[in-house]
Structure 1
Amino acid sequence: MHPIDADAVLWRQGTGDELLVVMHGLGSHEGDLFGLAPHLPERFDVASLRAPIPYGGGFAWFEFTPVDADDHALIDSAAEGVLAWLEGLEHSYSRVHLLGFSQGGAMAVQLARLEPERFASIAHLSSFVHAGELPGDAALAGREPRIPLLATIGDLDDVIHVDKVRRSAPWLDRHFAVDRRTYHRAHAIVAEELADVVAFLERA
């Protein structure tokens, strides 16, 4: 297991009893997506995590591969670290939501695959699904109601390989209640997308 550094987590206190866990992309850090926090619905406590593996001046959740790899050992190790961090929180939240960008989005889906009943919604931004099958996939597909998932991508995104996007889309449709959006952008988050994320979280 790759543990989460609890001292590196950035927090925004909300007004309700729900937690939004935020996970950054490859080579980034906990401060990157935390910039979104002032715009997110006030009812959430927001916790922005730092990935456990040093990478290029930032951090990674698992090893980068431009094409699909179906070895789950490294991504599961990181996901188990997030689950252990959640278990160690002093407060037990009524609902836990996930928001991940790029590698962080793959992590968000992986967490739901490991614990299909645990999470209330997922914002899956500029991302993909890790290849291969897991024991929890059938339970995830059979969950009623299915977890709502916002899947976004840019038509100019040259970081997430098109084969990963094409493979991931039908897999997500088979396992989640998907709201899919495409934007005219590269590998980044644009204002229109942020507005869609906020609206999605307000409905979740």
Structure 2
Amino acid sequence: MPATSFAAPVTATYGTDDPSAPLVVLLHGRGSTDREILSLAPHLPDGIAYAAVRAPIAEGTGFAWFANRGIGRPVAESLAATMAWFRDWLDSVAPPGRPVVLVGFSGGAAFAGGLLLDDPGRYAGTAVLYGTLPFDAGVPVGPGRLADLPVFVAQGDQDHVIPAELLTRTWDYLNGNSGASASSHRDPGGHGISATTLSALREWIDGTVTA
């Protein structure tokens, strides 16, 4: 599906409206909405612009970032189309020079990871929360692909939504072969953002945008 076939992005915002301030883009999970993930923003650092983007594909009572061929396994053509659609929006609100940090949860984590892997130089950092990178979906995942890029990865020990092998592969790649400057957080919970993860995410964002 070409990017032009999607409707214009719907966004919800929070924080400063200074166009030069760092922009944190919040990407919701499959079947969720922009408004739901925006609820994280009041718990994150001040002085930053937050934009939650609604995914372009209707999914139940919410929206999705790509068609799946299984949980955590995007259809490559679908992912490519939605990434192009997203980049068109991002370029309109964050021209080169404005720091952009991606924060994705679950399906949004796979989407954020795809964006980062496809164009590592575009982002100041990326948080992959309770999700997998989009392996075998047309984006490069070779050694050193994310060299020295700040990445935050959080997983729950009792997460039974994302296949365990994909969680392990994501954790190992981001903390190893990718070359990323990874900050990693595990908690004993399941497929949901815990208070300790949110605190660690806040600290990571603060360090990433002020570094």
Pairwise same-fold verdict (TM > 0.5): yes
**Length-normalised TM-score, structure 1:** 0.88
Aligned partner letter, 1:13: G
Paired residue for 2:64, among 38, 60, 66? Answer: 60
**In the alignment, does 2:168 pair up with 1:170?**
no
The equivalences for 1:34-49 within 5 A come to: 34-49=38-53
1:147 aligned to 2:154?
A: no
1:201 to partner: Cα distance: 0.4
TM-score (norm: length of structure 2): 0.85
Deviation of 1:43 (Å): 2.5
For 2:118, the equivalent position in structure 1 comes to 114
SS of equivalent residue, structure 1 residue 88: helix
How many residues are matched? 201
Aligned to 2:134: 130
Shift in CA distance, 56/142, structure 1 to aligned 2, threshold 3 Å: closer
Counterpart of 1:170 in structure 2: which amino acid? D
CA apart distance, 1:4: 6.2
The structural deviation recorded for 1:71 is 4.2
Deviation at 1:118, TM superposition (A): 0.5
The unaligned stretches of length 5 or more in structure 1 are none
Gaps of 5+ in 2: none
Find out whether 1:105 has 2:105 as its counterpart: no
CA distance in 2, matches of 1:190, 1:69: 24
- Provide Cα deviations, 1:44-84, integer angstroms capped at 9, x if missing partner: 20000001100011101112344564742111211111111
The residue number in structure 2 matching 1:159 is 161
Deviation at 1:161, TM superposition (A): 0.9
Q: CA 1:163–1:142 in 2, change beyond 3 Å: closer, same or farther?
A: closer
Secondary structure of 1:178's aligned partner:
strand
Q: CA deviation at 1:104?
A: 0.4
- For 1:73, which of 70, 77, 81 is the aligned residue? 77
Q: 1:160 to 1:78 in 2, by over 3 A?
A: same
Judged with a 3 Å threshold, the aligned counterparts in structure 2 of structure 1 residues 18 and 133 are, in CA distance, closer, same or farther, namely same
- % same residue: 25
Cα pair distance change 1:76/1:161, threshold 3 Å: same
d(CA) in 1 for partners of 2:96, 2:66: 28
Name the CA shift for 1:70/1:105 in 2 (closer, same or farther; >3 Å): closer
Secondary structure at 2:169's aligned position in 1?
A: helix
State whether residues 4 and 51 of structure 1, in contact with CA within 8 Å, keep that contact through their aligned partners in structure 2. no
Cα-Cα RMSD: 2.3
Residues 1:104 and 1:4: Cα distance change in structure 2 (over 3 Å): farther
Following the alignment from structure 2 to structure 1, what is the Cα–Cα distance between the partners of residues 34 and 152? Answer: 21
CA distance in 1, matches of 2:137, 2:192: 28
Where does residue 11 of structure 1 map in the other structure?
A: 13
